[in-house]
Amino acid sequence: MPAAVPPANEPANEPDGAPRIATLDILRGIAILAILFMNISEMGASMTANWSDLHHLGWSASDQSVWWLRTILIEGTPRAMLQMLFGAGMLILTDRIDTRSSDPLSVPLRYGWRNLVLWAFGMAHMLLLLWPGDILHSYAVAAMVACLFRGLPPRALLVLGLSYATFTMALGLSTVSHRLADPAAAFASATRTAKADDAAVAREDAFGHGTMAQWTAGQRAVSMDRLRNEEVVIVWEAAATMLIGAALFRWGVLQGAWSRRRYGWLLAVGYGIGVPLRLYGGWEATRLEGGFDVAWLWEDFARLAMTMGHLAAVMLAVQGARGRRLLQPFVAAGRTALTLYVAQTLIVSWLIFSPIGLGLYGRLDWTAMMAVALAVNALLLWGANVYVRHFRIAPVEWAWRSIVERRILPLR
């Protein structure tokens, strides 16, 4: 039998009556803070250079060390964890709606309204607070797509959830075969892509170092480009991973209901698959001489595998008294996740890097950026724990849920 864990369902003490699940809050808190380690390099330097020119952000021995740690342990995993938690939340909320109403339209109408408001918040985050990497609007759409399949059994949810990773691998294999069949055309295509990336880096650096008006226009241009060219893929990835999260929730994985032995196996399999794939992918990304890249074919499988390893590690920790005490502060971060996410944009993108802030865009290397992210996260984690001692709901969550409920919810 597993050791005692935090209560799966704490008292429904949210102002709108929503229940809190301790393990989900811990996972959400860790994920929302960890995502800053990914976002900060896109806030403080060229977004394109993050994948096209690693040296653009510095490449000293310490830079290489933190880049490797980030690539192996963090790359894509906070995003995947949040997507899985959205899937779990989708089941919790829609099941709750079902128990309160027999009207078949209740779920699509009420859950749809909730996500429409979240989508609006995400678009405001993207176009008003000028963060092109916003995930809220994409996840709101993806959650509605995932909701269509919520009645399926867990195995079917898992199979559908692997659709994106399977498709990207199949498409990748087809692309690789065409490249091998016509190396000259492949080289010409790669050259065109490299030139386009170099031009994008130059544009982004120009407005990053420019005036406030130039930075505003540049950030919005990047956002619109993403909406035009990447949104469908982003939503598909998110919806698919949400279905995996829904399956894991149905099986009790996210609630800490498995035995230590089963979580141990999950950890071993997740890291056993994910770490080698990430090591090879990192080696490809850091090659100076270039070459034929293939790691992108299985990147989503690596992302999911590493996330499952992290999930198992957290669940093993909360099943022990020492680990539970260590992770307890992240409950507060999970309860205030939406507010922390917006706060990261205000503190890092606006205060530290924007032209009207400290103007440090392009001046920090990989090491400095990760140090800043660590310091900001420590501040936010402390602030979240202080806040929840005095208030029942965080400010952005309060605004969102008040609109959803069509009434002003109490903060205390």
pLDDT digits (tens, 9 = 90+) for 320-345: 999 999 999 999 999 999 999 999 99
Helix and strand tally (H, E) in the chain? 18, 0
User: CA 308 to CA 314: how far, in whole Å?
Assistant: 10
* pLDDT for the residue 4: 38
* pLDDT for the residue 368: 98
**Residue 103 or 348, more confident:** 348
* pLDDT for the residue 6: 42
Q: Which amino acid is at 295?
A: A
Residues 6+ apart with CB under 8 A from 85: 24, 27, 28, 31, 245, 254
Is residue 14 very low, low, confident or very high in pLDDT (cuts 50, 70, 90)? low
Is residue 374 very low, low, confident or very high in pLDDT (cuts 50, 70, 90)? very high
Is residue 11 very low, low, confident or very high in pLDDT (cuts 50, 70, 90)? very low
* pLDDT for the residue 294: 87
Per-residue b or e along 384-406, where b marks 16 or more CB atoms closer than 10 Å to that residue's CB? bbebbeebebbebbbbbbbbbee
Instruction: Tell me the two tokens of residue 411.
Output: 């903060």
User: CA 205 to CA 45: how far, in whole Å?
Assistant: 7
Residue 120 has pLDDT above 90, yes or no: yes
> Measuring CA to CA, how many Å separate 204 from each of 200, 354, 363?
6, 13, 14
Residue 1 has pLDDT above 80, yes or no: no
Which of 350, 376, 381 minimizes the C-alpha distance to 125? 350
Is residue 7 very low, low, confident or very high in pLDDT (cuts 50, 70, 90)? very low
The residue-averaged pLDDT of 213-242 equals 97
pTM for the model stands at: 0.94
* pLDDT for the residue 9: 42
Instruction: Tell me the two tokens of residue 366.
Output: 């990989």
Based on the number of CB atoms within 10 Å of its own CB, is 92 exposed (0-12), middle (13-18) or buried (19 or more)? middle
User: CA 199 to CA 196: how far, in whole Å?
Assistant: 5
Q: What is the gyration radius of the CA atoms in the chain, in angstroms?
A: 21
Residues 6+ apart with CB under 8 A from 272: none
Mean predicted lDDT score pLDDT of the chain: 93
